[in-house]
């Protein structure tokens, strides 16, 4: 089921330690930026890690993708938006990494999360307790 949940965005400034000798952000750091947005999105639905654990579940990234369009550089202002694309069997979260300084999209991506019970047993559908919050 596709969901129409609003996007949640976080903003940051690219720190020096995220760049290579040319001042360009190393490609792997985009996933870190997307994780910041994913955390903000899930927190907005009362699904931060402690709440998920208290409900007796775990969520793990089982797939990730990032398509790069424009480089981020040291000092750039960045807005990373995350939104739900699907939640029934797996939780599919889409992202846009936008370079505010250059007024250009830098990347798009997605992650897919699977749910398990507290013992690590894979659940073939997103549990109702999580779905209620994801769809609220």
**Residue 67 sits in a domain of what CATH number?**
3.10.129.10
The residue to which tokens 């999360």 are assigned: 113
Give kind and range of the element (H or E) at residue 107: strand 104-117
> Total domain count for the chain?
1
Bridge partners, residue 58, by sequence? 116
pLDDT reported for residue 136: 85
Residue 1 lies in a domain: no
- Domain of residue 43: give its range: 8-135
In this structure, which long-range contacts are made by residues 51-56, counting pairs with CB atoms below 8 Å and at least 24 apart in sequence? 52/130, 53/118, 55/127, 55/129, 55/130, 56/117, 56/118, 56/129
The answer to whether the beta carbons of residues 82 and 97 sit under 8 Å apart is: no
pLDDT in tens, the chain (136 residues): 344 468 999 999 999 999 999 999 999 999 999 999 999 999 999 999 999 999 999 999 999 999 999 999 999 999 999 999 999 999 999 999 999 999 999 999 999 999 999 999 999 999 999 999 999 8
* Model pTM score: 0.92
């Amino acid at each position: 089921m596709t969901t129409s949940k609003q996007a949640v965005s976080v903003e940051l400034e690219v720190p020096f330690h995220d760049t290579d000798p040319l001042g360009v952000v190393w490609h792997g750091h985009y996933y870190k930026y997307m994780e910041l947005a994913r955390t903000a999105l899930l927190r907005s639905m009362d699904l931060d890690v402690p709440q998920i654990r208290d409900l007796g579940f775990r969520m793990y990234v089982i797939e990730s993708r990032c398509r790069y369009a424009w480089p981020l550089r040291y000092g750039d202002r960045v807005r990373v938006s995350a939104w739900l694309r699907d939640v029934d069997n797996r939780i599919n979260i889409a992202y846009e990494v936008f370079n505010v300084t250059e007024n250009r999209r830098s990347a798009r991506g997605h992650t897919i999360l699977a749910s398990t019970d507290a013992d690590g047993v894979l659940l073939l559908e997103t549990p109702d307790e999580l779905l209620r919050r994801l769809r609220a």
